[in-house]
Structure 1
Amino acid sequence: MANKSIPKKRIFILLPDGVGIRNFAFTSFVKLGEELGWEVIFWNATPFDLASIGIKDIKLNPRPKAYSDLIKRAKIETELEHFENKFNDPVYSFYRFPSKSKNFKSLIKNSVIYALRKKHTGEEGLKVLRKKLKASERKSDYYKDCLKVLKKYKPDVVFCTNQRPLTAVSPLTAAQDLNIPTATFIFSWDNLPKATMVTAPDFYFVWSNFMKKELQYYYPFISAEKIKVTGTPQFEMHNDESSYQSRSSFFKHCDLDPLKKYILYSGDDVTTCPDDPQYLEDVAENVEKLNNNGYHLKIIFRRCPTDFSTRYVEILKKYENLITAIEPAWEKMGQNWNTVLPIAEDLPLLINTIKHCEMVINLGSSMVFDAALLNKPCLFINYDVSDKQSENWTHEKVYQFIHFRSMPQRSPVFWLNSRSDIGDKIKMVLNENTETVNAALKWFETINKVPADKASERIWASLTEITE
């Protein structure tokens, strides 16, 4: 008698917004899951057409209740206040962005948030707010629609690509109410101190043992066996030589000068760095001086993908013979910032841009890890410009954020401590000083489980374990 084939396990990969697309749709994640015998279906709340890249999806029409959003905002504010008091650390106040009462409607909303915060404080209050958030969503038509889809398709697990969006609460709550295992991926290395944990699944997938400890530090009620250390797929392609272009091919494609060496300036969003255009100009001025002294350098500017402002126009025009802008391969598919989504070409574009530059310059970001994995040094801007756009902003605030405390004692970057410092530091990098790259790779081993190219394999192994 012939053996019956083992039925496939079915996974719903929940995309509550677009930030998980690059990690889970544009990597080898889906292909690997299918090879392991999974039926992979994306539960897709984004406008991105996954079918166009050969991925099955079910459209999700997210409609959270307005009251749920107020609970979420109250929970975040309460959590940050709780962290500040519990750990006796004022840095958590930097993560708070209180809403302004611009009109009567926003005044009412802020009053409700304030009342929720005053009534529910500390660990016990937060426990109540988490329950309230689920209870509120259970009253929504959105939740009822999620129940119908889950009852029809009966997935073995629902895996959420991002712990932050309110739109993930109903799908995950509906799955839990049907006894379907749920998990969420902690999207970014800086997310946990910011109180961005909006979802409350059964399992949590984190980048590293460092992040596991961090998760339990902030949420001691989450037991160790509920946390899976997997790494993140976002760095898998960096070591995949099939994604590399030759220098001549890349330079021709991007209309770059093959006789020049290039510096990559990686832009930040307006909130993180309102003075970014001034920093870019400072770099350009120093590069011009170096070129006047026999160097042959140019700059590639890659803006933050969600920054569609015109704030760089003047600088790019002024230095059009020195700076080439290579736009990120992202598309605006709606009116809100979270509908600005990457397309499949962006990650190879980023990798090849870094690979064919001599170094990366920006105000502190995870680009230091992208650079190190491609054996390129990173230079962090570490000063304020004289003509600041906002008196409330300073570069010092950025480096006080919790995630920079994981930085090793041996510096993983070159520090640009003043405008006049830039030229000398660029010369140091050009003289093949790779000591910082080695330190950055050590930092990376703290932040992300290595080998980095096995993250998808570890995630699928953990998903299999959950369902068994």
Structure 2
Amino acid sequence: MKIVILVPDGVGIRNYLYSDLITELRKNGAEICLYHKVSDVAIKEIEKVHKIKIEHKEIADLKEGFYLKLLRESAAYARLIYFKNVLKNKTILDFWGKNPKYLKLKVFYFFCKIFGTFFSKSYNRLRRYEIKYENKIKRTSAYKKVKQDLKVSQPDFILNLHQRSLITTPVILAAQELKIKNSTIIFSWDNIPKGRLICRPDMYFVWSDLMKIELCLLYKEISPKNVYIVGSPQFEFYKKKELQLTKEAFFKKYNLDIHKKTICFSGDDKLTSPHDQVFFEDLCSSLQKFPESERPQIIFRRCPVDFSDRYDAVLEKYKNDIAIINPDWRVEKPSQEADFTMIYPTYNDLSLLVNTCLHSDVVVNLGSTMAHDFAIYDKPCLYLNYNPKKDMNWSVERIYQFEHFKSMENLNAVGWITNPTDFYPLLKKALTTPDLIGTDRKLWLKRIIQHPLEKNSINLANLILEKCTSAS
């Protein structure tokens, strides 16, 4: 049997293509082909990890044109309005995120909002325009190209690694016309309310019961029988002994003091946390309150897409307390405004992340999944929960009103730093009595992701193999 994996960008490489998914599929006789939009260097890194040559082909570019893009963006805005009303959560509209600099684009997105508001008045109307978009895609040269590719390669199953990707839409639509079984991953725990499910594949693979319920609630046309809970392989790496260094080896490599407690500061991207450097400064400043003999050290890990110099002054000022361990991600297209579509992680970054979590005592960040990464090792997380600067366009209150944080309800999942003065007492508590901070962190992890974590790749592979052999 032949399985095509759609790789529209670099983010799915770590979570899926470095995992045991390919190994498990090949072990059961499957032939793998990557249909991708990443560099040859990234493909070689995947082949190096699995010690095999992998068939691969570049996905055709999709040129939407004005009308297609207007349909897509208008429908996306309509989805956000609809989700906001269903979930009774105004922050859903924050995911629109369109603030163009140029007049032409301002006018374009103004009309997208006008049409989107009109579409949102009726769910049937919204679906009608989404289907109209799909039908228009079928007239594009990209659709004709991928349809011909699929006729030649004749795969038994197609797995899309990211539900939002525009360039995978023609592939899924062509697969459906050719009666090829197809599916998409819902990539992350916060993705569903963002309204960017481009088309409707045959099957959906989600992390948890929570995600399945949310997906079927927000997309009426999706049947629960077509949504499968498979977890996500991204957490299984923490269970792999071969990625783990001893504390002594890891600390020696990065010039850390084996006798000191260790705090990981995990940076966010500039959109999520525009004043992250102020949070970092407050953290570093608070360490000075510890007696020098008891002062913790900091591992600083920036967000992989943040290439800014905004932390530089703090890193220099407190350099004696900080070890910089940057993510080992490679840039596909160098840019100061790089995003996750332009970069990919090396396999080495898995080891960096695993050992950072394994050998740090607590993580500090603004609402990231690092809370879950640390929970795997039963270690506490402190979420930043105050406004470091006055900002008319951003507030921390808005961040924690996002829908995915409702999964924390009735749980003591993390500690909360609600003021710069909270750093010292909460860090001291987390470092000396970690079991008293975020006592329900493992319960939260179980709500978010299917357990056992180390079985997620195997379960996904088995499900794909089962679907390949079952009758349509």
How far 1:437 sits from its partner (Å)?
A: 5.4
Two-structure CA RMSD over aligned residues (Å): 1.8
Change (3 A) 1:366 1:443: same
How far 1:15 sits from its partner (Å)?
A: 0.7
Contact 1:375 1:437 in 2 (8 A): no
Supply the AA of the counterpart residue of 1:368: A
Query: Higher mean Cα deviation, 438-447 or 227-236?
Result: 438-447
Supply the AA of the counterpart residue of 2:344: L
Partner of 1:36: 28
Deviations 1:390-417 (A, max 9, x none): 3221111111001111104231111112
- 1:279 matches 2:279: yes
State the secondary structure of the residue aligned to 2:297. Answer: strand
Partner of 2:218: 218
Query: What does 1:318-329 correspond to in 2, within 5 Å?
Result: 318-329=317-328
- 1:102 matches 2:102: yes
Partner of 2:11: 19
Kindly, what percent of the aligned residue pairs are identical? 32
How far 1:340 sits from its partner (Å)?
A: 1.6
Supply the AA of the counterpart residue of 2:18: F
How far 1:239 sits from its partner (Å)?
A: 1.3
Contact 2:269 2:305 in 1 (8 A): yes
How far 1:296 sits from its partner (Å)?
A: 3.3
How far 1:129 sits from its partner (Å)?
A: 2.4
Deviations 1:28-74 (A, max 9, x none): 11111111221111111122531343233222232231343332221
- Aligned partners of 2:345, 2:81: CA distance in 1, in Å? 34
What TM-score do you get using the length of structure 2 for normalisation? 0.92
Contact 2:76 2:116 in 1 (8 A): no
How far 1:303 sits from its partner (Å)?
A: 0.5
Contact 2:77 2:117 in 1 (8 A): no
Partner of 1:5: none
- Aligned partners of 2:228, 2:208: CA distance in 1, in Å? 9
- 1:46 matches 2:33: no
Pick from 353, 364, 369: which aligns with 2:367? Answer: 364
Change (3 A) 1:110 1:394: closer
How far 1:107 sits from its partner (Å)?
A: 4.6
- 1:199 matches 2:202: no
Partner of 2:379: 376
Query: What does 1:27-426 correspond to in 2, within 5 Å?
Result: 27-47=19-39, 48-54=41-47, 55-66=54-65, 67-100=67-100, 102-104=102-104, 106-107=105-106, 109-110=108-109, 112-114=111-113, 116-121=115-120, 122-292=122-292, 294-335=293-334, 336-337=338-339, 338-385=341-388, 387-388=389-390, 390-426=391-427
- 1:460 matches 2:461: yes
Long gaps (5+) in structure 1 = 1-8
- Aligned partners of 1:193, 1:304: CA distance in 2, in Å? 23
Change (3 A) 1:10 1:320: same
Supply the AA of the counterpart residue of 1:228: Y
Supply the AA of the counterpart residue of 2:392: E
State the secondary structure of the residue aligned to 1:393. Answer: coil
Deviations 1:365-398 (A, max 9, x none): 111110010221111111112x34x322111111
Supply the AA of the counterpart residue of 1:370: D
Supply the AA of the counterpart residue of 1:62: D
Contact 2:412 2:439 in 1 (8 A): no
- Aligned partners of 1:97, 1:164: CA distance in 2, in Å? 15
Count the aligned residue pairs.
456
- Aligned partners of 1:414, 1:286: CA distance in 2, in Å? 16
- Aligned partners of 1:182, 1:304: CA distance in 2, in Å? 32
Contact 2:81 2:117 in 1 (8 A): no
Change (3 A) 1:273 1:428: same
State the secondary structure of the residue aligned to 1:265. Answer: strand
How far 1:23 sits from its partner (Å)?
A: 1.4
How far 1:18 sits from its partner (Å)?
A: 1.6
Partner of 1:440: 441
- Aligned partners of 1:435, 1:425: CA distance in 2, in Å? 10
Query: Higher mean Cα deviation, 433-442 or 394-403?
Result: 433-442
Query: Higher mean Cα deviation, 142-151 or 180-189?
Result: 142-151
- Aligned partners of 1:400, 1:111: CA distance in 2, in Å? 26
Supply the AA of the counterpart residue of 1:23: N
Change (3 A) 1:429 1:35: same
What TM-score do you get using the length of structure 1 for normalisation? 0.93
Long gaps (5+) in structure 2 = 48-53
Deviations 1:252-300 (A, max 9, x none): 22232333322100001111111110010111011121144x4131111
- Aligned partners of 1:200, 1:290: CA distance in 2, in Å? 55
